[in-house]
Structure 1
Amino acid sequence: MTVVTRFAPSPTGHLHIGGARTALFSWLYARRQGGRFILRVEDTDRERSTDEYVQAILEGMAWLGLEHDDGPYYQTQRFDRYRQIIERMLAEGTAYRCYCSRERLDALRAEQMVAKEKPRYDGLCRDRQDPPPEGVSPVVRFRNPTDGQVVFEDLVRGPIAFDNAELDDLIIARSDGTPTYNFTVVVDDADMGVTHVIRGDDHINNTPRQINLLRAISVTPPAYAHVPMILGADGQRLSKRHGAVSVLQYRDDGYLPEALLNYLVRLGWSHGDQEIFSRQEMIDLFDLAAVHRAPSTFNPDKLLWLNQHYLKTEDPGYVAGHLQPHLAALGVDPDAGPDLAEVVRALRERSKTLVEMAEGARFFFAEHVAYDEKAVAKHLGEEGRRALGAAQAALTDLTEWTIEAIHGVIETVAASGGWKMGQVAQPLRVAVSGTAVSPPIDQTLQLLGRTVSLARIEAALRHGQS
């Protein structure tokens, strides 16, 4: 049997952390088993679904690198298929038309609530023999079994059972003919050969209904794995109030996809005490049996730590590719300066996000340095200018513009002038970067190059002079 999993988001919002984790677990299981991963867009809620959200979901999946083997499929393009199955079920007696008015159903629900009964349809139209009322567009209901149990082996939670008597005859088509969620999911999973459904545990109550529907259309139900919810630090279900929960927001905030994937895989799954996983390690090690039953708590500090780790350890050229959009957002042209991968190499030890790295990289590509006047006042006073002038003279005579040679010049200037290294390095740093913070000054000068470095030192010596 070929394993087939699916991720089926509704485009009523952006791709958020919970959905991304579900997609990741489904993708990993398919990859680990040598199977197929389907992307399906459940867009039947036409009032809330938008093309903007569809594109955001596709963009988020692409950024994470969770490529699908089939799809994306769109439920709104499959209405003919849904109608076909509904007509078949009506003919076979596994579904029936219900003419009950909204007023009757509301009154029924109110009575059940007063009696402290579980609200459910009472089956009035289930075996109705009298002629249907005129002028009423009926809904279509599934004829759910009335006895026995639905029992399934959840791959995370173990055996789960529901009494059929607790499941009412759910609506599978509205009065306007549009199909409902539980019905479309069942038809799609059946038609697409889905073998394993991995989703959040908020869907557990849908599972017995979907299993009964699948059996009614003579399809063997897939295996189900319901993963626990993700909580915020306050113990409540993760939501917008906990901060940036959209995948694309993390991208825009300067996170690498590897960091977010690594963090998500550890939200509810573990492999011993291992914290850092490459993409291939995730595929090789992921097992549904190791998914935890208890909810996980989202920790933004841990995610930030992982992001810093990947900024330090990923190939600088790869990081540079992700850095470019952040530089563009600052109006910086990375072609107007040193090799961007080398700038990444210089900045990665001190950057937690790509946004921080882009800010730190600005001066490398600027036509003119923007001075931090506090840094100027502290490091380019009379003594600082004297040290900077001495460094300028020595650097002008330097024949080999390498990190080692530049470092040697700074050491020599400091020794000959009776200064500490920092008393020469800091004026240089302010001169070429505008601030008192930069990568090591020898590395910074080497990246900027001789011409730019000497021009900025000259400009700094003139700065503030009448």
Structure 2
Amino acid sequence: MTIIVRFAPSPTGYIHIGNTRIALFNWLFALKNNGQFILRFDDTDTARSKAEYAEATIADLEWLGIDPVRIEHQSKRIPIYDAAAETLKAAGVLYPCYETAEELERKRKLRLARRLPPIYGRDALKLTDADRAKLEAEGRRPHWRFLLPNFKEDPFSVARTEVHWDDLVHGRETVDLASLSDPVLVREDGTYLYTFTSVVDDIDMGITHIIRGNDHITNSGVQISIIEALGAKVPELGHINLLTTASGEGISKRTGALSIGSLRRDGYEPMAVASLAVLIGTSESVVAVPDMGSLAEIFDPAATSKSASKFDPADLDALNRALIHAMPYAQARDRLAALGIEGDRTEELWLAVRGNLSRVSDAVIWWNIVKNGPASDEQLVEEDRDFVRAAFDLLPPEPWSRDTWKQWTDAVKAESGRKGKPLFMPLRIALTGLTSGPELADLLPLLGREGTLARQP
């Protein structure tokens, strides 16, 4: 059996780290099991769904390294939903209801006042054909509910009905259908709700495993019932913990907080984002994993905590630095070229400065220092000027190598008597304009003797 998973976002905003975590769990599960990953857009809400959000989602997933085997749009699959709805209607488990939202709210409050669970009482099942004809003549249009199998013979005598499954994350899970209202699957305008379209698509696309947020656990009990009513096999289910912001707030697409696009624009590496998004809230240590294959090897959905986890972008910084510090030049070359960093000695520059970078784009700072002169951040104090000027007169002849820095500073130390920070810091400031940075032994050959002398105060 080929394992097939899916990620089904609604294109009503830019995907954020929370729903991206779900995409990553599905992708890694497929990767680990040589399976397939389907990207499926829940875009039946035409008023809120936008093509630009779908396109951005595709780009964000590609940036992360997620490669769907196919991309589907629910808005193009309406005939399939129509056929499935007719199947349920013919079976007598999809029935029309005519209450308005106000009427339903009044009924809910009445049930609460009587200390009854606020679930739908199935009053629409009592309507005769004549009743329905009269209501429609008055201009009412029905919404359609799925009749949950939580009774033996009389649908008005609801009994405890447990739905069980072995969850990939939580182990044995149980939902009591008696505690739930019959879900609306079709709106008054004839459009379908996610609860229904998701089930129909999962069946039609042969989805074998569904990994999603644990806010869908109750919904899973309902969808299992719909799947069985359509005569299909129930996929394996897994429900992972949700992510919150660092302050504990929920993450929303509408606010744009922690969107993948914003993290990418901030210069974070895709594997830094993926490593934190996947490993946080699990029993695994949160480390910078270099590639998806390596992340898949340590990925285990069962190691996920049941409680929500906080995602703090500040935690990305250390992971980002770790990835950049180990990044080979071949991986950085094209990105450096896009930043205008090109030339015969670009690889030497990268190897010299990468250990001091937080973002790849920070390499521009050192490119400009090597090419154009010291930064203006720090200036030599007056007492160091004469020392540095004399030190430059002791520069060794070319050719220069990594050993040149030691040869030079040994000579300066012998001549001036300075050592330690009073020796090295003024030279660093004169050469770079900064008080910290890459090893000067690596930078000096890039500057060359002529370029170094040009920095003599």
Task: Decide: shared fold, TM above 0.5.
Answer: yes
TM-score, structure 2 normalization: 0.86
| Cα distance in 2 for residues equivalent to 1:110 and 1:253 | 49
Pick aligned residue for 2:213 from 189, 200, 211: 200
1:292 matched to 2:291? The reply is no
1:77-120 per-position Cα deviation (integer Å, ceiling 9, x unaligned): 21222122223322332312222233322322232343343333
| Cα distance in 2 for residues equivalent to 1:116 and 1:364 | 74
Please tell me whether the aligned partners of residues 141 and 173 of structure 1 are also in contact (alpha carbons under 8 angstroms): yes
Shift of 1:194: 0.6
Please tell me whether the aligned partners of residues 12 and 49 of structure 1 are also in contact (alpha carbons under 8 angstroms): yes
Shift of 1:201: 0.4
Please tell me whether the aligned partners of residues 376 and 433 of structure 2 are also in contact (alpha carbons under 8 angstroms): yes
Query: Structure 1's 288 and 430: CA in aligned 2 closer, same or farther, altered over 3 A?
Result: closer
Query: Structure 1's 304 and 242: CA in aligned 2 closer, same or farther, altered over 3 A?
Result: farther
1:343 matched to 2:349? The reply is yes
AA aligned to 1:246 is S
SS in 1 for 2:181: coil
SS in 2 for 1:376: coil
**Aligned equivalent of 2:49:** 49
| Greater relative contact order structure (CA < 8 Å, 6+ sep) | 2
**Aligned equivalent of 2:267:** 254
AA aligned to 1:142 is F
| Cα distance in 1 for residues equivalent to 2:335 and 2:271 | 11
**Aligned equivalent of 2:175:** 162
Listed as ranges, the gaps of 5+ residues in structure 1 are 462-466
**Aligned equivalent of 1:464:** none
1:371 matched to 2:370? The reply is no
| Cα distance in 1 for residues equivalent to 2:429 and 2:288 | 37
**Aligned equivalent of 1:144:** 148
Give the 5 Å matches for 1:87-98. Answer: 87-98=86-97
SS in 1 for 2:40: strand
Shift of 1:344: 3.2
Please tell me whether the aligned partners of residues 211 and 239 of structure 2 are also in contact (alpha carbons under 8 angstroms): yes
AA aligned to 1:163 is D
Shift of 1:422: 4.9
1:3-53 per-position Cα deviation (integer Å, ceiling 9, x unaligned): 111111122222222212211111111121121111112122333322332
Please tell me whether the aligned partners of residues 253 and 354 of structure 1 are also in contact (alpha carbons under 8 angstroms): no
Shift of 1:408: 1.2
**Aligned equivalent of 1:75:** 74
Aligned length, in residue pairs: 442
Listed as ranges, the gaps of 5+ residues in structure 2 are 152-160
Please tell me whether the aligned partners of residues 5 and 195 of structure 1 are also in contact (alpha carbons under 8 angstroms): yes
**Aligned equivalent of 1:283:** 296
| Cα distance in 1 for residues equivalent to 2:422 and 2:297 | 53
**Aligned equivalent of 1:415:** 414
TM-score, structure 1 normalization: 0.84
| Cα distance in 2 for residues equivalent to 1:110 and 1:137 | 24
Shift of 1:163: 2.8
| Cα distance in 2 for residues equivalent to 1:419 and 1:448 | 24
Identical counterparts, % of pairs:
34
SS in 1 for 2:237: strand
**Aligned equivalent of 1:24:** 24
Give the 5 Å matches for 1:262-411. Answer: 262-271=275-284, 275=287, 277-278=289-290, 279-319=292-332, 321=334, 328=339, 333-335=340-342, 339-354=345-360, 357-358=362-363, 360-361=365-366, 363-364=368-369, 367=372, 369-372=374-377, 375-378=378-381, 381=382, 383-395=383-395, 398-411=397-410
1:184-214 per-position Cα deviation (integer Å, ceiling 9, x unaligned): 1111111111111101101112111111111
**Aligned equivalent of 1:444:** 443
AA aligned to 1:444 is L
1:187 matched to 2:186? The reply is no
| Cα distance in 2 for residues equivalent to 1:177 and 1:88 | 16
Across the aligned residues of Structure 1 and Structure 2, the Cα RMSD in angstroms comes to 3.0
Shift of 1:246: 2.0
Please tell me whether the aligned partners of residues 380 and 429 of structure 2 are also in contact (alpha carbons under 8 angstroms): no
Shift of 1:425: 4.3
AA aligned to 1:371 is S
**Aligned equivalent of 2:237:** 224
SS in 2 for 1:453: helix
Shift of 1:288: 3.0
1:385-441 per-position Cα deviation (integer Å, ceiling 9, x unaligned): 33433344444x622022212431332234224443655644443344333333222
**Aligned equivalent of 2:154:** none
Query: Structure 1's 302 and 162: CA in aligned 2 closer, same or farther, altered over 3 A?
Result: same
AA aligned to 1:342 is E
Query: Structure 1's 41 and 241: CA in aligned 2 closer, same or farther, altered over 3 A?
Result: closer
AA aligned to 1:260 is V
| Cα distance in 2 for residues equivalent to 1:167 and 1:427 | 74
Query: Structure 1's 323 and 60: CA in aligned 2 closer, same or farther, altered over 3 A?
Result: farther
| Cα distance in 1 for residues equivalent to 2:412 and 2:294 | 51
